[in-house]
C-alpha cells in the first residue's frame, strides 16, 4: 500500500494484506446478490489504513436502490493523540 505523506502516518501496517478484496452483499435467504465490488487499500484521513467501498446497490427483487459504504480499518493503525 502506498501511504499519502500529507496524511498522519499509521502506527502500523499489514504487509501481508492483499492489494484487492472482493466484497459481496447478498440476500442470505434467497441467495440473491445485491452488489459485488473489488476494493483496494485506502489510507484514511485519520491516518489509519484499510479498505473502503462506497456506492449504490439495487434490490434485484424490485429495483429499489440503496446507498452503501463499508470501512475496513486495520485495528491499531490509527495514530494516537500527542501527550
Residue range(s) defining the domain that contains residue 9: 1-83
Give the total number of structural domains in the chain: 1
pLDDT of residue 81: 64
Q: State the virtual CA torsion across 6, 9, 15, 20 in degrees, nearest 10.
A: -50
DSSP for residue 17: S
Concatenated DSSP letters of 42-74: EE-TTS-EEEEEEEEEE-TTT--EEEEEEEEE-
pLDDT in tens, 24-80: 999 999 999 999 999 999 999 999 999 999 999 999 999 999 999 999 999 999 998
Amino acid at each position: 500500500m502506498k501511504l499519502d505523506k500529507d496524511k498522519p502516518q499509521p502506527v502500523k501496517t499489514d504487509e501481508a494484506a492483499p492489494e484487492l478484496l472482493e466484497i459481496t452483499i447478498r440476500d442470505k435467504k434467497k441467495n440473491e446478490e445485491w452488489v459485488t465490488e473489488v476494493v483496494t487499500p485506502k489510507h484514511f484521513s485519520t491516518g489509519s489504513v484499510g479498505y473502503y467501498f462506497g456506492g449504490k446497490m439495487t434490490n434485484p427483487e424490485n429495483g429499489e436502490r440503496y446507498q452503501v459504504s463499508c470501512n475496513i480499518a486495520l485495528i491499531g493503525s490509527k495514530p494516537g493523540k500527542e501527550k
